[in-house]
Amino acid sequence: MGRKYFGTDGIRGEIGTYPMTPDFVLKLGWAAGKVLANQKNPLVVIGKDTRISGYMLESALEAGLVAAGVDIRLLGPMPTPAIAYLTKTFRASAGIVVSASHNPYQDNGVKFFSSNGTKLEDETELAIESYLEKDIVTVKSSQLGKVVRVNDAAGRYIEFCKRALPSDVKLEGLKIVVDCANGATYHVTPHVLAELGAELITVANSPNGRNINEDCGATSLDMLSKQVVLHEADLGIALDGDGDRLMMIDHTGATVDGDEILAIIAKHRLKNQTSGNDIVGTLMSNLGLEQSIQKMGLNFHRANVGDRYVMEKLKTHDGILGGESSGHIIIRDRIETGDGTIAALQVLLAVIETGRSLHELKHVMTKYPQTLINVDLSGPVDVNQNSKIQEAVQSAEDQLGQRGRVLLRASGTQPLIRVMVEGQDETETTELADGIAEVVAAEALAS
Instruction: Point out the residues that are catalytic.
Output: 101
Helix/strand/coil for 338: coil
Residues listed for the chain: 447
CA atoms within 13 A on the CB side of 366: 7
CA atoms within 13 A on the CB side of 394: 7
Q: Tell me how far apart the alpha carbons of residues 341 and 345 are, in angstroms, rounded to a whole number.
A: 6
Cβ atoms 239, 185 nearer than 8 A: yes
Buried b (16+ CB within 10 A) or exposed e, 398-427: eebeeebbbebbeeeeeebbbbbbbbeeee
Helix/strand/coil for 203: strand
For residue 167, give every residue at least 6 positions away whose Cβ sits within 8 Å of its Cβ, in sequence order, or none.
none
Nearest to 127 by CA among 248, 1, 25: 1
Nearest to 411 by CA among 377, 369, 446: 377
DSSP string, 286-330: -HHHHHHHHHTT-EEEEE-SSHHHHHHHHHHHT-SEEE-TTS-EE
